[in-house]
Amino acid sequence: MDLIIEYGVFLLKVITIVTAIFLPILMIINSSKGKSVSEKGYLQIKNLSEQFKNMGSTLKGSQLDPKSYKKFTKDLQKKKKNEKKNPTKDQQSIYVLNFHGDIQASEVDKLKHEINAILVSETKCKEVVLKVESGGGSAYAYGLCAAELKRLIDNKIKLTVCIDKVAASGGYLMSCVATKIVAAPWALVGSIGVIAQMPNIHKLLKKNLVDFEMHTAGEFKRTLTVFGENTEEGRSKFKSELEDLHLIFKDFVKENRPEIDTNIVATGEVWQGEKALNVGLIDEIGTSDDYLVKLSKKFKLFEIEYVEKKNLSERFAFAAEIFINKTVLKIYDSLNKSRFIS
């Protein structure tokens, strides 16, 4: 037990030193992100149909005897040559996108570029499948995500959203515009509500004889404050604004999914599996891979991702961020395991 404690202390020292070295660098780079707009990005395209076929062929071939395997590989090569010589004409494509959300919906710019590429291309797009994973965040940021996805619907392109883990609050706000929503049995969906919270240290400042002044023009320019004394009028106005935002959220969900009874689902709760299906939050239960494998048998599937080129300092910051995250996770995992050791 003493050894585990010493190991934990050592890891904490390491993370402290690493943080002290890399945190200032990360802060400098993050502060400069808004100052320069880089459009030097590119699209990464992965043929998912071929990937699924190759995986299936590899698994099948591994179970054959040497003679059968030789015949199998010859037939496979012959089939590929025939497909190249006689490609399937007018076969429609399906594009697969990924969205990993955070509080600020930071990937909205990436999503915008991917949608732009689809809309300006002259390929026959049958459907767009978006894999969403987000616990929500800024209502305004996720409202922009929804607006970007709406462009596909406006251009008569079917949009299917697949949820494997979670699409709650803002994550569901952007998902509800889809033509179809598919969610895994344990995926969390819904959370149609609004939350806002902030600390107030006015009493602490007053106790330590620290004065704080704030001047505004307009009665409700600032409703709640961290440092000043909050009033009942300010609290009431702030809550009223939250209620208005919640009403807009409910109306938006109702507009895109008319069959939903918002009085039942718009309580801030999350729903799973059959319950989510019964209240109309989703259209089908299943994983994204299951949905994509089925589509790959009929259509060409391409996963596209917009990647912005990083300069040397950004690459260094990214590597440092990954290192810090992994170190923190290791410490947490070690401390968590030590609870079960006597």
- List residues with catalytic annotation: 169, 221
Element (DSSP H or E) covering residue 111 = helix 108-120
Inter-residue contact 115 to 145 (CB < 8 Å): no
How many other C-beta atoms can be found within 10 angstroms of the C-beta atom of residue 243? 11
Angle between helices 108-120 and 139-154 (to 10 degrees): 10
Q: What is the C-alpha separation between 155 and 181, in angstroms, rounded?
A: 19
DSSP type of residue 75: H
Q: CB count, 10 Å around CB of 168?
A: 25
C-alpha 47 chain-centroid distance: 22
The two most distant CA atoms of the chain are separated, in Å, by: 88
Residue carrying the six token digits 């699209």: 43
Beta-bridge mates of residue 158: 127
- Which residues partner with 97 through β-bridges? 130
